[in-house]
Chains A and B, each alone.
Chain A
Amino acid sequence: DAKTTQPNSMESNEEEPVHLPCNHSTISGTDYIHWYRQLPSQGPEYVIHGLTSNVNNRMASLAIAEDRKSSTLILHRATLRDAAVYYCILGTSYGKLTFGQGTILTVHP
């Protein structure tokens, strides 16, 4: 499975934008880029996914580099409830997700 690289941790202030980076230099042409997050003591929660074009939904935006070797999850206005571990995952048409260590996001009031 292709691997992703994320910073171990990031910090943000409440109501400020947060840009969470992810490198995936060995991505294949059929790999989707998925983002999930895990709040303390909960199961992971889907955030967003994309293939080539940038994507927006009610939770976040996903900016994908033109060469697809990196992507950025954008939280437009961080809230305290966004404090979580964010996982960037490459998913194939097969469905199995391979989770890395993720980025621990701390949001300060």
Chain B
Amino acid sequence: GAGVSQSPSNKVTEKGKDVELRCDPISGHTALYWYRQSLGQGLEFLIYFQGNSAPDKSGLPSDRFSAERTGGSVSTLTIQRTQQEDSAVYLCASSLDRAETQYFGPGTRLLVL
């Protein structure tokens, strides 16, 4: 079956611009996670959605970052007024339920010039 998909695969933007990153989780998965991986670094948790519960935003690095999940399916991560330190690979994962195996998408490579 279809796995987690993310778009765009690559995004180049100018400092100060807003960007939107999209994640399509596996159908039926109730949990959705966003992570960030800076060059040569491990994965950093950003935000977590579980069903209709309030999302866990504890990993968002600043108020320039926000995410939403519409209809319990597709999620969008928005970065406002991008900075060069936002350059990273943004990874989305979904799982059947919380604490289940997470399936990762291929990531969006963001470069802020």
Contact = CB atoms under 8 A, between A and B. Distances in A.
Contact of B43 (A44, A92, A93): A44
B99 A43 contact: no
A51 to B, nearest CB: 11
A100 B42 contact: yes
A87 B48 contact: no
A43 B104 contact: yes
Interface residues on A, range: 20 to 34
Contacts of A96: 33, 45, 48, 56
Given A46-B102, A46-B103, A95 B31 contact: yes
Contacts, number: 57
Interface stretch (B60-68, B73-81, B90-98): B90-98
Interface residues of B, number: 26
Interface in A10-56: 32, 36, 42-46, 49
Interface of A: 32, 36, 42-46, 49, 87, 91-102
Contacts of B106: 42-43
B98 A94 contact: yes
A42 B56 CA distance: 25
A44 B104 contact: yes
